[in-house]
Amino acid sequence: MGWVYLAHDDKGVRRAVKEMKLGGSTSQAELADALRLFRSEAEFLAKLRHPGLPLLVDVFDLNGKPYMVMEFITGDTLEDVLVKNPGFLTENRVMAWAEQLCEILSYLHEQKPNPIIHRDLKPSNIKLTANGVVRLLDFGIARSYKPGKIRDTISIGTARYCPIEQYGTAQTDGRSDIYALGATLYELLIKQAPPESTSRLTKNIPLPSIKTRNPQVSARAEGIILKALGLRPEDRWQSAKEMRTAIRSAFPFLI
């Protein structure tokens, strides 16, 4: 959907500048949708204030292209961490990140008047700072939950992290982000993303055991993650706050 540049402002402060991708073979309808999503991302970030989210600095147009200037966040993405680590990440480390991510999602999902659903939570969209704090990035396909709406206007996301309802069968809500968080934690512990939710549903493809792939994972961690990966929204944790409480109860020494 665009490019992100590392830049410096007139005070020498490093910034991330996001430029919307225009042109190519994109149809007018697709371009209109992309522009709407880009503007929507800026609107979301402008009103959000949380240490786990990037700060929006400015928005402007230049030569017909829209731009966002954001806080530049140093550190590796969790995808980078996975690639750089030759073995499995420790359960305690992963569940500590999970607890932080649940707190960030709780903040988003409790926004008034409408909850904000990220819809693209995955390892490459989460940065880990030098002091061990996780930051959730890229609100390019985030949306507001609208009571009474049957389904999302645009079905979009990253396949192995998308719950079944994100393929257009229903409206996404906070439980959709919980599924993506479960898929992310699953991958972080066994270095393999889960099968697509559509394949699990239509082809009855089972969800491989986490403990079989990584015996060092405890039953309590696996149970929390598998519940987040429930195919039906009602089978998952019903809120990020509920999932966070379960993590804090199972891993009190991490807090």
pTM for the full predicted model: 0.88
Question: 33-42, 78-87, 97-106, 199-208: which range is least confident on average?
Answer: 33-42
Q: Which of 104, 180, 184 lies closest to 136 in space, CA to CA? A: 104
Name residue 8's amino acid: H
140/233 Cα distance (integer angstroms): 23
SS3 247: helix
Paired strand residues for 129:
none
CB 41 within 8 A of CB 142: yes
Give catalytic residue positions.
120
| Every domain of the chain and the residues it spans | 2-71, 76-254
Tens digits of residue pLDDT in 196-247: 999 999 999 999 999 999 999 999 999 999 999 999 999 999 999 999 999 9
Q: Which helix (H) or strand (E) holds 91?
A: helix 91-109
Q: What does the mean pLDDT of the chain come to? A: 88
Q: Which CATH class is domain 76-254?
A: mainly alpha
Given this model, what pLDDT does residue 142 score? 62
User: Looking at domain 2-71, does it have CATH number 3.30.70.100?
Assistant: no
163/101 Cα distance (integer angstroms): 18
CA distances from 100 to 32, 168, 182 (A): 35, 29, 13
- Range list of H helices, the chain: 28-47, 78-84, 91-109, 174-190, 197-202, 210-213, 219-228, 240-250
Tens digits of residue pLDDT in 126-170: 999 999 999 999 877 665 434 444 444 444 668 899 999 988 767
Given this model, what pLDDT does residue 23 score? 64
